[in-house]
């Protein structure tokens, strides 16, 4: 949160919160409508995650005040994001190792 805690500054923050609320509501409706589009699965995933990322940025930036937060918090979060992506994609190595290998569920069915 910025250090300006005057009444006017807080009133300005409140105005921004209302605008963000409106944007989040509109983006939620767009997320649902986008799921009805006739696109491939990968395109649908890409679209849904882009919209979710925009919504998450609005929440983190304005409601959690990251847009004006101290560098210590930003450093902690950058480190977290780095390890988050390692954790998400590390198992991909195992998956790509098995590329082209017979898939058991085909015979199970």
Task: Give me the residues that bind other proteins (CB under 8 A), please.
Answer: 1, 5, 7, 10, 13-14, 17-18, 20-21, 24-25, 28, 31-32, 34-35, 41, 44-45, 48-49, 51-52, 55-56, 59-60, 63-64, 70-73, 76-77, 79-81, 83-84, 87-89, 91-92, 95, 105-106, 109
* CB closer to other proteins, 21 vs 67: 21
φ, ψ (nearest 5 deg) of residue 69: -85, 160
Instruction: Give the torsion through C-alpha atoms of 90, 94, 100, 106, to 10 deg.
Output: -110
Q: Does residue 57 contact residue 84 with C-beta atoms inside 8 Å?
A: no
């Amino acid at each position: 949160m910025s250090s300006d805690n005057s009444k006017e500054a807080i009133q300005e923050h409140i105005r921004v919160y209302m605008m963000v609320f409106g944007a989040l509501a509109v983006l939620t409706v767009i997320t649902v409508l986008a799921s009805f589009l006739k696109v491939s699965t990968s395109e649908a995933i890409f679209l849904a995650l882009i919209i979710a990322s925009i919504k998450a940025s609005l929440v983190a930036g304005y409601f959690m005040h990251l847009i004006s937060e101290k560098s210590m918090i930003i450093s902690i979060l950058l480190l977290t994001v780095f390890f988050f992506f390692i954790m998400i994609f590390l198992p991909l190595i195992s998956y790509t190792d098995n590329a082209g290998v017979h898939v058991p569920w085909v015979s199970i069915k």
